Every structure is written in C-alpha cells, then in structure tokens.
Amino acid sequence: MIERYCAFTGHRPRKFPWGDNETDARCIALKKALAKEITKLVDAGYTDFLSGMAEGTDAWAALAVLALKKENPALKLHCVLPCEGQADEWSASARERYFSILEQADEVVYVSREYHDGCMLKRNRYLVDHAACLLAVYNGEWRGGTAMTVRYAQKLGREITILNPVAPERLEL
C-alpha cells in the first residue's frame, strides 16, 4: 500500500548554517516545522514513514515519527540503511541517537550489507520507490544526495513537500 507511505530526505548538519548546534533557534524552528508537516501527513492518512537515517534531517524526522507514535501506535517507522556501519565514523552522541532510533523502529532494511560507491544512491532510490510522497528539507542546490532524491521523486511523479532549512516555510513541487 504505497499510498500510505512517505519518505524523508534532507541535508546533514554540515549543510545548515548552524552546523551541529541543535540548540540554535533556526534548528529548533526547523525541527518544529518538520514535526508539523509529519502531523499533517498523518492527518492526510499516511501511516508509514521511511527514513534513510543519515544525520540531521533523517534522524529528526524519525524522532518526530516516534514521538507521534506514542499517541498513535498505528504509525510505523521504517529505517532504510545504505549499509551496515553507516554510523561508524559519527560522534558518540550521534551514534547513540542512531541506535536508539533503530531499536524503536518497526523495520530496519539494509539496501547493501557493505559500503560501496552507489549504496547511498541505492538507499535514496529505495526510499522514493517505496513511498507515495517525499518530505524534503532542501536548500535548492543542484548537487548532492538530497537534490538527486528530489529530482528522482519528481521524475516518478511523487507528491513532494519541501521545507526550506533556513526559513522553514512549506513549498509544494
């Protein structure tokens, strides 16, 4: 039932003006906007959410789903990982968050067991292939995984909602 599935994509912390500082007012505003959009999706009938579990947007969206799931246990979080060891080079706090989310997920899918060139792209395509809509935190730049994922979703005719990371207003594509 792909109609009830929504995937997330978005930038990692290094692409945001605040970097890793999640106490920055802009980061807090973005997280709130992300949670608000996910709530709208739930209200519109989406029950299953796919996160690629990268740092930043993917993790924040997954946490928002888990928070909503406390009130609505029918919601499902599917973590789609590019490979085992995705978080091996991350900070201790980022790894702790990552594994905490995976423990609470309804499903964990590995698109590849080992890292290889293209496994991130394969993960991103899996997200779009298995969802009717895409919620993206996207700054509009042409290069990068988020840009490629948004373009792939456009090519497949998926419903796309984009949040501007710096001024989190909603844009429809």
pTM of structure: 0.93
Given a cut of 70, whether residue 170 has pLDDT beyond it is: no
What's the N-to-C CA distance of the chain in angstroms? 23
Given a cut of 60, whether residue 173 has pLDDT beyond it is: no
Cα 152 to Cα 19, 73, 121, distances in angstroms: 27, 31, 10
Q: What is the mean pLDDT of residues 54-75?
A: 97
Residue with tokens 């090519």: 155
Q: Given pLDDT bands bounded at 50, 70 and 90, which one contains residue 169?
A: low
Name residue 4's amino acid: R
pLDDT at 14: 86
pLDDT at 166: 78
Given a cut of 80, whether residue 57 has pLDDT beyond it is: yes
Q: What is the mean pLDDT of residues 5-14?
A: 94
Least confident of 49-53, 155-159, 163-167: 163-167
Given a cut of 70, whether residue 162 has pLDDT beyond it is: yes
* pLDDT 10s digits, 97-138: 999 999 999 999 999 999 999 999 999 999 999 999 999 999
